[in-house]
Structure 1
Amino acid sequence: MQQSAVPELAHTQTRPIHWVATAAAVAGVMALSSLLQSNPATAAQPAGPRTKAAHTATAPGTAGLDFPIACGPVKAVVRKKASGDLDGDGNPETVAVVHCDAPMGTPPDGVYVITRASDGKPRVVATLLAPKTGDTVSDFAVRDGAVTATVFGYSSDDVPRCCPDLTDHVKWQWKNGSFVRSTPAGTHSV
């Protein structure tokens, strides 16, 4: 019988204690690295009236807020939300797409703008799309001071709620003290 030149090494056989030791070592390295974090990078910001407020203000939340939507025995749910400075004051607003938590069917959406009241609590300040229109919202976003969305609607009461037959790409923007809805030319479809 021929003997191998290299004897079998004990550490090539894995045992549970090896895995425990490896896990402990990794946890130790992670804990140590969190203690030795470098300071965050800082950079000079350009002077301007909106710079400081825009970076320090937080957008209002939607939790516990009473939306102007009648849901009967079911509750209102926030389906989508996004934040941004819509009126140019340096403080972000939150825009929420809300509908009733209906057990079946396609409940209509409401689109609401939320800001902070003087006491710091969030409050609804504008309704961009009322649920009574019967429309639903898709491709919703807040960017560049505007709210954009694709709105699906119905040409008549005879159209089943499952199958909207109208589509509009809309934009709401703050102008002269109110939100103005616009539809870019050529975006209506049937």
Structure 2
Amino acid sequence: MQQSAVPELAHTHTRPIHWVATATAVAGVMALSSLLQPNPATAAQAADPHHKTTHPATAPSTTGVDFPITCGPVKAVVQKKATGDLDGDGNPETVAVVHCDAPMGTPPDGVYVITHATGSDKPRVVATLLDPKTGDTVSDFAVRDGAVLATLLGYSTNDVPRCCPDTTDSAKWQWKNGAFMRSKPAGAHTV
């Protein structure tokens, strides 16, 4: 057997100080690695910092919107709302049915389209589909396929008590040529 040309190395025999040094080094590496973490992974791609959107991708809220309805001493309340892309720009609008919070009777409804103000998150009314001055109330209401559909309850004469509408009308509003156009859906009738 041939003898090694290198003398015995001192670290071939472990001592307690070696274990303490190794444990300290491992603890230091672990502490440092917990401080240096990569960014969390997400399913969405990072936004292009040079691309600016003019509208947020979320539908606007009805909170804080000044509806063009006069209620006197009572406040305006949002009775119903629905969202959808009405003008085909890829951003949803909110349609709200609003009336005065009257203590008695059946207050008339207004139907309003809300969108975000240009370059802002602040919602604003951009169209009145049904003016409360017509005296109608909205019973059924939906946004489907880029159109607003509603069943309107109204009164045939001024002699009909405001508690008891006696006419029914169906309405459909759709964005065409830069404005909302009203039409009656197929099968609409008056009772």
Amino acid at match of 1:189: T
- Tell me how far 1:185 sits from its aligned partner: 4.5
Instruction: Quote the residue 2:29 is aligned against.
Output: none
In the TM superposition, what whole-angstrom CA distance separates every residue of 1:60-111 from its partner, at most 9, and x where no partner exists? 0010111000000000000000000000000000000000000111000000
1:33-62: per-residue Cα shift (whole Å, max 9, x none)? xxxxxx9989xxxxxxxxxx9xx7100001
The residue that corresponds to 2:106 in the other structure is 106
1:176 has 2:177 as partner:
yes
Amino acid in the other structure paired with 1:146: A
| Whole-Å separation in 2 of the counterparts to 1:89 and 1:189 | 34
For 1:40 and 1:107, how far apart are their aligned partners in 2? 48
Instruction: List 4+ stretches of structure 1 deviating above 2 A.
Output: 39-42
1:75 aligns with 2:75: yes
Pick the structure with greater CA Rg: 2
* Secondary structure at 2:161 match in 1: coil
SS in 2 for 1:157: coil
> Residue type matched to 2:61 in 1?
G
TM-score normalized with structure 2 length:
0.69
Could you tell me the TM-score, scaled by structure 1's length?
0.70
**Structure 2 stretches lacking a partner, 5+ long:** 1-40, 45-52
- Percent of aligned pairs with the same amino acid: 79
1:1-190 alignment, distance < 5 Å = 57-118=57-118, 119-190=120-191
Structure 2 CA distance for aligned equivalents of residues 169 and 153 of structure 1: 11
The Cα of 1:186 is off from its aligned counterpart by 4.1
Equivalent pairs, count: 140
Instruction: After TM superposition, give the deviation of residue 184 of structure 1 in Å.
Output: 2.6
The CA distance in 2 between the partners of 1:58 and 1:184, in whole Å, is 28
Structure 1: gaps spanning 5 or more residues:
1-38, 43-52
CA distance in 2, matches of 1:108, 1:170: 16
Deviation at 1:189, TM superposition (A): 1.7
**Counterparts of 1:143 and 1:134 in 2: how far apart (Å)?**
25
Letter in 1 for 2:173: W
> How large is the Cα RMSD of the aligned pairs?
1.7
